[in-house]
Amino acid sequence: MPHGPEAPSPTAPTDVDLSVTLGRLQLPNPVLVASGTFGYARELASLVDLSRLGGILPKTVTATPRQGNAPWRTVETTGGMLNAIGLDNDGVDAFIECHVPYLASVGCPIIASVAGKTREEFVELVRRFDAVDAAHRPAAIELNVSCPNVSGGVDFGSDPALCEAVVRDCVAASDLPIIAKLTPNVTSIATMAKAAEAGGADALSLINTVLGMAIDWRKRRPLLANVVGGLSGPAIKPIALRCVWQASQAVRAPIIGVGGIANINDAMEFLVAGASAVQLGTVNFYHPTASMEVLDALPAALAEIGATSVSAIVGSLNH
């Protein structure tokens, strides 16, 4: 039966060590914002103290510009939303020229999110960031091998051999820490986590969106122009939590939990389930200051269960 630690010793919130280590990547705290839910960070500069974040993952960048899918691109569902943006972005050249100088100046770790159509394209994208001068180079790269809205995107996330190979190629191509972001739309998340770990990933981000659909029955039409899209928000939190827990049982690689995290309780649940850090995603759309509120509440939440560091509670689930 689950039971809490006996007589937790009271800890002053100020004594809590918030720093986390994910393979070769060191972060000042475990509260990150997820790719595709934070634009290029500049958009939220007036509402969020960007310098305090544990990390920012800007919108996924591809080798060449992509217009993205036709509208409607998003639709609200019960406790969540579906999106099929289609990796709308101006391409890696524009990203490095236009957004990287700003991102490098905000004062928190930047983790570039990349998506390639092929192994070669993933490697090329990783090399581009590796070649950026030291002052502007991101702290790490997250491989988006799990976007459900572009053809080719999910194969790397659902075929273990392909996933391992692309991670291995990218790790070999760069000195930067490599994170693999995995999809929950697979039979066994543990199998995919093992594959990414075998490829040498410094960490795994779990989960990307859950494939879903919404319909207007009167018009007999799908609500998304792309017909299907990725479900996110509080509705998917139990799925994400389950994936993090299952993966953490299968691999030693650190895990970044993502999926429906909206407040301090959600964040703490993921840490206890086995995540070493968390990414806030959809909540940025409807409560743009949520990351600051989670960060503010974190020391007291850790102290409440007698922890003096984040790492002390990672994977501490009693079962």
Partner 1 sequence: MTDRPALDATPLHAKHYADGAAFVSAPIVENVRLARDTYRLRFEAPAIAATITPGQFVMVRLAGIDDPLLGRAFALYDVSDDRAAVDVVYLAHGKLTTALASRQPGDRVEVWGPLGNGFDGDEREIDALLLVAGGIGYTPFLACGAEALGLKEYGLVGGVSDADDASPPQKTTRPRLAAKSVTFCYGVRTLDYLAGADAFRAAGIDLRIASNDGSVGHHGLVTDLLTQALEESSDRRRRVLCCGPEPMMEAVAEICLAEQVRCDVSLETPMACGLGICFSCVAKVKQPDGEWDYKRTCVDGPIFDASQIEW
**HSE-up (13 A, CA, CB side) for residue 188:** 10
Min. distance of Cβ 17 from partner 1 in angstroms?
25
- Distance CA(158)–CA(146), nearest Å, equals 8
Both tokens of 272, joined, read: 């206890």
> Which residues lie below 8 Å from residue 170, measured CB to CB, with a gap of 6+?
122, 123, 126, 141, 143, 178
What residues numbered 265-284 form the site for partner 1, per CB under 8 A?
Answer: 282, 284
Between 97 and 304, CB nearer to partner 1: 97
CB-CB neighbours of 242 under 10 Å: 16
Between 76 and 155, CB nearer to partner 1: 76
- Distance CA(168)–CA(149), nearest Å, equals 24
β-strand 111-114 against 140-144: which pairing, if any? parallel
Binding mask 195-214 for partner 1 (x = CB under 8 A): --------------------
Q: Which stretch binds partner 1 (CB under 8 A): 14-22, 67-75, 170-178, 265-273?
A: 67-75
| Contact indicator for 223, 197 with CB cutoff of 8 Å | no
> Rounded to the nearest 5 degrees, what angle is found at the Cα of 80, between the Cα atoms of 79 and 81?
150
One residue of 160, 212, 233, 299 binding partner 1 per CB under 8 A: 233
- Distance CA(129)–CA(125), nearest Å, equals 7
One residue of 54, 80, 116, 257 binding partner 1 per CB under 8 A: 80
- Distance CA(168)–CA(163), nearest Å, equals 9
Binding mask 131-150 for partner 1 (x = CB under 8 A): --------------------
**Residue 5 corresponds to which amino acid?**
P
Min. distance of Cβ 112 from partner 1 in angstroms?
16
Q: How many residues bind partner 1 (CB under 8 A)?
A: 48
Q: Confirm or reject binding of residue 106 to partner 1 (CB under 8 A).
A: yes
Helix or strand holding residue 221 (H, E): strand 221-222
Min. distance of Cβ 298 from partner 1 in angstroms?
20
Between 153 and 274, CB nearer to partner 1: 153
Helix or strand holding residue 181 (H, E): strand 178-182
Q: Confirm or reject binding of residue 164 to partner 1 (CB under 8 A).
A: no
**Active-site residue numbers?**
147
Binding site for partner 1 (CB under 8 A): 36-39, 42-47, 49-51, 59, 67-68, 71-76, 78-81, 83, 85, 88, 90, 94, 97-99, 101-102, 105-106, 233-234, 262, 282, 284-289
Binding-site residues for FMN: 35, 59-60, 144, 181, 207, 233, 259-260, 281-282
